[in-house]
Amino acid sequence: MIEKLRDIFTVALIEAFGDELKDFSPLVVPATNPKFGDYQCNAALSLAKVLKKNPRAIAQTIVDTVKLNDSFEPLSIAGAGFVNITIKPEAIAKQIQSVHQDERVGVEKASVQQKIVVDFSSPNIAKEMHVGHLRSTIIGDSIARILEFRGHEVLRLNHVGDWGTQFGMLINYLRTEKPEVLTTANAVDIGDLVTLYKQAKAKFDRDAEFQEQARKEVVKLQNKDSESIKAWQLLCEQSRREFEIIYHLLNIKLTERGESFYNPFLPEIITILETENLLEKNQGANCVFLDGFVNKQGDPLPLIVQKTDGGYNYATTDLAAIRYRVNEDKTDKIIYVTDAGQANHFIQVFQVARKANLAPENVDLVHVSFGLVLGKDGTKIKTRSGETIRLKSLLDEAVNRTKQDLQNRIETEDRQETKEFINQVSQIVGLSAVKYADLSQNRTTDYRFSYEKMLDLKGNTAPYLLYAYVRVQGISRKGNIDLDNLSTEENIIFTDESELVLAKHILQLDYIIKELEKDLLPNRLCLYLFELSQKFNQFYDKCPILQAEEKVKISRLILADLTAKVMKLGLSLLGISVLERM
RNA sequence: GGGUGCGUAGCUCAGUUGGAUAGAGCAACUGCCUUCUAAGCAGUCGGCCACAGGUUCGAAUCCUGUCGCACCCGCCA
């Protein structure tokens, strides 16, 4: 709808003021306030200067020139020169009917379908997943789902940290402290492995000789020493199983392609940089000097692609990954979902990738960054003893708290529910709450983790949204109505303002999803769904459904059913599933 | 020291290419269950959009400076 209006207004602007406005944005946006109508055109205001005319006069000319069909109320001019656009209720009713019969509830597929890599989650082998991985995993999954729904072919890649100095470190440490881990599967559990990792890291940081041995271990690994490779594989296997538990719990699908995958391609990256005349030796390391990055003295800063000892680092791996994804995966776009702290790194890597033509101009490189997860007090989230919180225990706690709440409610309401019901509901509500709390926040800022807030039944939370869906299902149960087989003949009748408001909101979904595809901010979808729930609850409050006379009843059932469909779809794009009862 | 981001109600946060009187939720208080689950709805209270300048018909939004906070800064990822 908004695109159509933009086209119509652009045509009108050209007709009224000439061809030079061909590329001028008609500035048609959703109305800032419902009392101004559904959309508004702000073009008159910004054209005032260019055309040296009174904005209200320009607005009048626009109104006189624009050709709208009978779906719209007559245009009105308000304030300094705003043109307000209102759709007629009959037109809304018609659209609702057509959307109701559409499997995609009115959301179009992208006109150009791309191949897109979404690189997210990316935990490290031999370490447990912690809250830091939560945002990348949840946001990345949601972005992938949104793009998939728009019809793009998405390759979800898990760029796990399965290579590098830390491996040499760990293997070297295990060789003396716990050699059986290197030869036997599951010799210790993952928690102990993490402890050993920390010990190894501590030793690495204070012991120069150990550092040296660790580096040699890396070289052995790189040279495919069979014993080293075996040990490495065992460690990876064990970690992988651990990750799978989390991914299964969160219903996340990912293709693992870790750093080690790009290992064989690292030397050719150096060669390419060399032939492109980008490579420079600096203090023994191979570097590419960057535009726009300078040190204290104002000298350009290098991106190190090959260390003095001949080893490669993550910048090199990222460059090799870009090359592979462009050449082999034939991707049109690569999206990296990582914390904001890596912003600099990606700017640098992207710059080098462009310069070396590893990524041609028509391949988009996008860093989707996000802020830190903070504790309730606003500092980095930690356990009481100062350890980072394991993701598994964090999720378990959310589910347990939900279960507690649910059991209390069942008791006070004197309901009888099975154990299976209680478990299933608390699992879905608890995990959804964690996901929703994260996604409903603008990802670019830090975010405060609070069980109380995310599990609150009121406000912009998963339980509130899920409840709106449950209410619709309740109606269908109570009235013994099959929502999938509602009459398609009946008209939509607006007897109360709340029905029209709900209907208009439902029709905004298409616009929201398209915006989402551009700005990759899932919180905008959350806000939309929250508002949908509110508008539905207002409708539910004011418009009885089952007692209404037949024609009104069907009209309201369609609105309720459509609300549920939008809710289910929207939540699924956030990686959240719905419940029939709760 | 340099870079990036942030600073909006008591708290947690929205604020879409600059647009009309800056919005939610929570908390607090007041109403509404013989009616589809009240896990709801209606309402009241609450703002120097960090501060100071500038650009503009119009600034929370853009520019400059100041203060505060966070993160990053050549051989970790």
Per-residue pLDDT tens over the stretch A561-577 = 999 999 999 999 999 99
Q: Model confidence over A89-112: pLDDT tens digits?
A: 999 999 999 999 899 999 999 999
Taken in order of first residue, the domains within chain A and their CATH numbers are 2-87 (3.30.1360.70), 165-256 (no CATH), 395-573 (1.10.730.10)
Residue numbers 457-486 of A with CB closer than 7 A to any atom of strand B: 457-460, 463-464, 467, 470-471, 474-475, 477-479
Condensed to tens digits (0 to 9), the pLDDT of residues A159-214 reads 999 887 778 888 888 888 888 888 887 777 777 788 888 888 888 878 888 888 88
Query: Does strand B come within 7 Å of the CB of A101?
Result: no
A247 Cβ contact list (under 8 Å, min separation 6): A121, A137, A253, A254
Query: Residues A211-233: what's their mean pLDDT?
Result: 84
User: Nearest protein residue to B57's C1' (by CA)?
Assistant: A45
Nucleotides of B under 7 A from a protein CB: 1-6, 12-17, 19-20, 23-27, 35-42, 56-58, 70-77
Whether the beta carbon of A409 falls within 7 A of nucleic chain B: the reply is yes
**pLDDT the model gives residue A467:** 94
Tell me how many degrees the CA angle A284-A288-A292 measures, rounded to the nearest 5: 125
Contact A402, A429 (CB under 8 A): yes
A81 CA to B53 C1' in angstroms comes to 30
Tell me the pLDDT band of A430, cut-offs 50, 70 and 90.
very high
8 A C-beta contact, residue A324 and residue A262: yes
The pLDDT score that the predictor gives to residue A295 is: 65
From the alpha carbon of A159, which nucleotide's C1' atom is closest?
B77
Instruction: For A45-91, write each residue's pLDDT tens digit.
Output: 888 877 878 888 889 999 999 988 899 999 999 888 899 999 999 99
H/E run at residue A469: helix A462-478
Contacts of A153 (CB under 8 A, 6+ apart): A113, A114, A115, A116
Phi, psi of A371 (to 5 degrees): -80, 180
What pLDDT is recorded for position A40?
Answer: 92
Q: How many angstroms is C1' of B17 away from CA of A369?
A: 22
Is residue A313 over pLDDT 90? no
Nucleotide nearest to A547 (CA to C1'): B36
The residues facing A29 across adjacent strands are: A40
What is the distance in angstroms between the CA of the first residue and the CA of the last residue of chain A? Answer: 36
Nucleotide nearest to A521 (CA to C1'): B16
Whole-prediction pTM value? 0.94
Q: How far is the CA of A173 from the C1' of B48 (A)?
A: 59
Give residue A386's pLDDT. Answer: 64
What are the tokens at A369?
């960054």
Cβ contact A298 with chain B strand, < 7 A: no
Q: Which nucleotide is nearest to A460 (CA to C1')?
A: B25
**Residue A261 near residue A278 (C-beta atoms within 8 A):** no
A527 touches strand B (CB under 7 A): yes
CA at A346, C1' at B73: how many angstroms apart? 14
Q: Which of residues 223-252 of A touch strand B (CB under 7 A)?
A: none
Q: What is the nearest nucleotide to A415, using C1' and CA?
A: B37
Q: Judge whether residue A33 contacts strand B, using its CB and a 7 Å cut-off.
A: yes
Q: Which nucleotide is nearest to A300 (CA to C1')?
A: B74
Q: What is the pLDDT of residues A514-548, one digit of tens each?
A: 999 999 999 999 999 999 999 999 999 999 999 89
Q: What token pair was written down for A446?
A: 């830090």
Model ipTM value: 0.94
| Nucleotide closest in space to A464 (CA vs C1') | B39
Greater confidence (A441 vs A220) lies with A441
Strand A39-41 relative to strand A28-30: parallel, antiparallel, unpaired? antiparallel
Q: Distance between CA atoms of A204 and A222, rounded to whole angstroms? A: 19
Mean pLDDT, chain A, as a whole number? 89
Q: Which amino acid, one-letter code, is at A492? A: I
Contact A259, A160 (CB under 8 A): yes
Query: Any atom of strand B under 7 A from CB of A123?
Result: no
Tokens of A160: 């796990």
Check residue A32 and give its pLDDT.
87
Secondary structure of residue A278 in the 3-state scheme:
coil
Q: Look at A327 and A484; give whichever has higher pLDDT.
A: A327
Give the mean pLDDT of A403-427: 89
A8 touches strand B (CB under 7 A): no
> Which of residues 308-337 of A have CB within 7 Å of strand B?
308-309, 311, 313-314, 317
State the pLDDT at residue A209: 84
pLDDT tens-digit series, residues A352-390: 999 999 999 999 999 999 998 888 777 777 766 667 788
Rounded CA–C1' distance between A520 and B62, in angstroms: 23
C1' (B44) to CA (A66) span, angstroms: 44
* Model confidence at A298: pLDDT above 70: no
